[in-house]
Amino acid sequence: MERTLIKDLKDKIDQQVTLKGWLQALRDQKSMQFLIIRDKTGLAQVAHWKKGNPLLAELISTLGTESALTVTGKVVANEVVKLGGIEIQLEELVVENNAEVPLPFDPFSDTLPDQDYRLDWRYLDLRRERNRLIFEVQTTLEQGMRDYWLANDFTEVHSPKIMGTPSESGAELFKVEYFDRTAYLAQSPQFYKQMAQAAGFERIFEIGPVFRADPSFTSRHMTEFTGIDFEMSWIDSHEDVMVFAENWLAHAYKVVNEKHHDAIQEHFGVDLQVPQTPFPRLTMAEAYQILKGMDYKLPPEKKGDLDPGAERALGDYVKQEYGSDFVYVTDWPFTVRPFYHMLHPDNPTLTRSFDLLGKGLEITTGAQREHHYEVLKQQALDKGLTLEPIQTYLNYFRYGCPPHGGLGMGLSRLLMVMLDLPTIREAVYVFRGPNRLEP
RNA sequence: GGGGGCGUGGUGUAGUGGUCAAACAUGCGGCCCUGUCAAGGCCGAGACCGCGGGUUCAAAUCCCGUCGCUCCCGCCA
């Protein structure tokens, strides 16, 4: 029999239906049994009169909560039932998969175990509607991003994640055995994005895994995460990238808002708003002035850079001054940026680069890239790199590479910002950290 | 990698030198009551207080080490 979703039961009064879902609660009484069934669309009460089928009653008594069930019965309107005034009179029950008793923890309890313990039993934690919503939002968010890219002539690429040479610094790379030699997991698709520019793709994006061997124990770091990257040719400066990015992000927010606004409000207490464009922009020099005015003291060794506290302070500042959750911080010193960021023609100590902060959290780094072979080589040397290992990359700039720029964004960090999540471990399907390889 | 905090039944907590062979909530088992619906009532099982060492007449409680978790910093998305 065709499955009926719980949300559609109200249209099936006096009909026989089949529900498929989990046993949320069992109230096993003397003459009656009540099974609360949950599917993705809601909860429904199933009633069973024990004397009508004593054998079935016995089976029901053995069920553990969270068992996976198929239930068939007649839908009746009954105003006594507090759950929507509807119940199913049980006729048939198939136990698809009984749940052992006791559960490692009850996902629907008022008090939840520590998050680390819940990560051990991630699939149970994900049964909570709130957690499923995060990934429904993520799906819609990515769809909104893709819509916008596709409408603007972007091509999707999938770059390799196994690399033969440590590309940038090499400090945070995972080594893997590769037959009889060593390979590395990609810590960024950066070089391959730029290869597509040299290839004449003009505009490309990639959503894919990124690996960082950072032993970071914070609420916003992972050793494997999903990177959202795009790169575009024929730009005049990093400003072109920022303009595209803010409109792209606003579109993605709009799509999410249209589909999930009320659910997000209900589960996260966030009244989601589509961000106003353009986002405020602060040069690093301006950011320093603002921090000074706020009496925020940066550690002296952070010269030219921002620490997380400074980022939070700037986030507060733009919220107050501009009512914006987002702010671009631009024109970072070359000393704190990678060698391939383009320098400002009128001030070669600064780069044509930007970070995007969302509610004071760094979610994006972007820049115009240096596309002149000789200049790029010199910048690499200035950073103390040897050219030989990156020669394949440098070659992209020898035979007609257009000016270009782009950015990289952390998908889970964006979700943290969007849904006000306290830790990235909630924003990712399965968390990977220095001490977490399971599940 | 550096610094702080925490580690008590399945889970969440209380207890910070003796009155703790450890309490409460929830969950679990049994019984009672009941068309239940945040169900209620009674009874019961379940923790050598992360692990190892030390101080003390006495340690869940203090000290040292160790492991785990967590937060902040560094690093970044």
Per-residue pLDDT band at A300 (split at 50, 70, 90): low
ipTM: 0.84
Question: Residue A124: is its pLDDT beyond 70?
Answer: yes
Comma-separated ranges of CATH 3.30.930.10 domains in chain A: 125-427
pLDDT for residue A436 is more than 60: yes
Q: Which of chain A's residues 219-278 bind strand B, using a 7 Å CB cutoff?
A: 219-223, 225, 227
Residue A344: predicted pLDDT:
93
**Helix, strand, or coil (residue A71):** strand
CB distance A250 to A277 below 8 Å? yes
Q: What is the pLDDT of residues A355-375, one digit of tens each?
A: 999 999 999 999 999 999 999
Note the pLDDT of residue A16.
94
* Predicted pLDDT of residue A155: 97
pLDDT digits (tens, 9 = 90+) for A248-298: 999 999 999 999 999 999 999 999 999 999 999 999 999 988 988 888 877
pLDDT digits (tens, 9 = 90+) for A140-150: 999 999 999 99
Q: Does residue A1 carry a pLDDT above 80?
A: no
Give dist(CA A326, CA A337) in Å, integer.
21
User: What is the pLDDT, as a whole number, of residue A167?
Assistant: 64
**pLDDT greater than 90 at residue A156:** yes
- Residue A234 above 80 pLDDT? yes
Q: How far is the CA of A356 from the C1' of B73 (A)?
A: 22
Please state the rounded mean pLDDT for residues A347-359.
Answer: 94
Q: Is the pLDDT of residue A168 over 80?
A: no
Looking at residue A229, what is its pLDDT? 97
Residues of chain A with CATH 2.40.50.140: 6-97
Of A27-31, A73-77, A134-138, A250-254, which gets the smallest average pLDDT? A27-31
* Greater model confidence, A101 or A401: A401
> With respect to CATH, is domain A125-427 assigned 3.30.930.10?
yes
Contact A23, A65 (CB under 8 A): yes
Q: How far is the CA of A193 from the C1' of B42 (A)?
A: 70
Residues near A180 by beta carbon (within 8 Å), at least 6 away in sequence: none
Distance B27 C1' – A109 CA (angstroms): 10
Between CA A216 and C1' B3 the distance (Å) reads 14
Kindly indicate the confidence band of residue A106, based on its pLDDT and cuts at 50, 70 and 90: confident
Which segment of A156-165, A198-207, A249-258, A397-406 scores lowest on mean pLDDT?
A156-165
- State the Cα–Cα distance between residues A128 and A115, nearest whole angstrom: 14
What's the rounded Cα separation, in Å, for the pair A162 and A89?
A: 57
- CA angle A74/A75/A80 to nearest 5° reads 125
Among the CATH numbers 3.40.50.720, 3.40.50.2300, 2.40.50.140, 3.90.180.10, which is that of A6-97? 2.40.50.140
Residues 73-102 of A, Cβ under 7 A from nucleic strand B: 78, 80-83, 87, 101-102
Q: Which of residues 7-46 of A touch strand B (CB under 7 A)?
A: 25, 27, 29-32, 34, 45
